[in-house]
Amino acid sequence: QNQATWGGRFSAGPAELMLSFSESVSFDRRLAQFDIAGSKAHSAMLAHVGLITAKERNAIHRGLDAIGKEIAAGKFEWNTALEDVHMNIEQALTQRVPAAAKLHTARSRNDQVATDMRLFFKWACGEIDARLEEAQRALLALAELDGEVMIPGYTHLQRAQPVQVAHHLAAYLEMFERDRARFSGVAKHANWCPLGAGALAGTTLPIDREFTAKALGFVDERGRPRVTQNSMDTVADRDVFVEFATACALVGTHFSRLAEDLILWSSSEFKYIDLPDTFCTGSSLMPQKKNPDSCELLRGKAARLQGNLTTLLTMAKGLPLTYNRDLQEDKPPVFDSFDQTMMCLAVVAGTLTGARMRRESCARAVADPALLATDLADYLVENGVPFREAHHVVGAVVKLAETSGVPLDKLATADVQKIHPALKADWIDVFDLKRAAARRIGTGMPGPKQVKRQLARWRKHLA
Ligand code: ARG
């Protein structure tokens, strides 16, 4: 005789191997508090519609609260033979409260697990948002400390045009801000209550789905309950899982690019930044080494976040409606994405917080006059030369500098005038770095005033 909750029609229990193969309590136990909240709301609804008495509801609530406390205190005994978090809690409740036998009325683990996960997503998105804000604060702090330092901006990893470090760092403030909006969108998409969908086809019992939704906070801005609209979709749908993993993978892409910038900047070849000892490691062999391991791991974790997303997409793509046990595999990648994203964002903040720009080598790099070749083309445009022609002319000036082994701004005016007469005596003023920066006055440009305004905006936003 099978002792499992579903054992009525079985004459043999599951094999040992099947138990360890199919259990999920080892990872879904972290849903316990959401599962308890869901069961409390569900039993409140059952009492509200008269399927259980108020007394039974109260007993169930007291029992669930006690179990919740034991779990929080680490005193609850989890049993893998009971498969998952839902069965473990229900079983424990049954041992304490006779009314527990009525808790699963009009409910399936299929709508139950969908509810637990939606509650998890709403909570997790808020947690990640706080970490993203923390990372933004660290970016802003470094931008305010060392931000006026100029460095070459790059395209194709070739020196392109000069920018303030603050402008470069503020680019990541924008990325993280979009990430925050994305997580808030995921939380909104999670905000529909699955309970009442049953296994796939609802129930014949007179339940009140709206009541349950309200009790669990699945409501719109005006407090109206939001319940899912198709019972089959409800138990089969894993869209929010994919969306959450997507948002995590994209955060990962962002912090991976930041990490790559920091790795390059901290190399002897660039020497733009000194990363904090506390987030670097040494070599077991080479005594001189200080390696940017936190950044390299951030890059590596980004791959892992993408892997989790791929797992979820692949898992869902071939499944017939509705619930299939494959879907139990949806939780490890989601939890891993959450845990890793949380930790990575804290590491981003920690690494940035102790970092300092290396002013002398930044100044040396940005002194390269070729960085202002585009400004020279603009100068020609201002003197009436069409841009395409100006581009060509400056190209010839750059070539002359290169072939004669002279820096661009050290060429003789007479020589450049031979290339184009519009290059007047004041052509050389173009290479004044401060002046060049100050002329970039449009919205989103790296002029010092604009950058200052940008930082002020972020300071206010993050206050
Ligand atoms: N542990 C299961 C999961 O995570 C809960 C749902 C089980 N439903 C079922 N019909 N076996 O998916």
Residue nearest to atom 2 of ligand 1 (CA): 328
- 283 an active-site residue? yes
Query: How many CA within 13 A on the CB side of residue 23?
Result: 20
Q: What is the mean pLDDT of residues 361-376?
A: 97
Residue 117's pLDDT is 98
In the block, tokens 């990872």 appear at 27
Q: Smallest Cα–Cα separation from 22: which of 82, 90, 76?
A: 82
Q: Quickly count helices (H) and strands (E) in the chain.
A: 18, 4
Rounded to the nearest whole angstrom, what is the distance from the C-alpha of residue 310 to the centroid of ligand 1? 21
Q: What is the percent of the chain where pLDDT is above 90?
A: 96
* Average pLDDT over the chain, rounded to an integer: 97
Buried/exposed 326-343: b ≥16 CB within 10 Å, e otherwise: ebbebbebbbbbbebbbe
Residues with Cβ within 6 A of ligand 1?
24, 28, 84, 109-110, 113, 323, 325, 327-328
Look at residue 2 in the predicted model and tell me its pLDDT: 61
Rounded distance, CA 46 to CA 205, Å? 10
Residue 7 pLDDT: 82
Beta bridge partners of residue 153, listed in sequence order: 161
Structural domains for the chain: 15-105 (1.10.275.10), 110-149+164-205+234-361 (1.20.200.10), 367-458 (1.10.40.30)
Question: Which atom of ligand 1 sits closest to the CA of residue 84?
Answer: 1
Residue with tokens 């661009």: 408
Res 226 pLDDT > 90: yes
271 Rama sector, left if φ>0, alpha if ψ -120 to 50, beta otherwise:
left
Residue nearest to atom 7 of ligand 1 (CA): 109
Instruction: Examine the residue annotation and report whether 231 is marked as an active-site residue of this protein.
Output: no
| CA-nearest residue, atom 12 of ligand 1 | 328
| Active-site residue, from 11, 156, 268, 284 | 156
Per-residue pLDDT averaged across 343-354, rounded? 98
Please state the pTM of the whole predicted model.
0.96
Q: Which of 22, 283, 404, 461 is catalytic?
A: 283
Per-residue pLDDT, 1: 47
Choose the weakest-confidence range: 197-201, 209-213, 285-289, 421-425.
285-289
% residues pLDDT > 70 (the chain): 99
Task: Return the best residue to mutate from 35, 80, 82, 113 for the ligand 1 pocket (most ligand atoms within 8 A of CB).
Answer: 113
**What's the ipTM?**
0.97
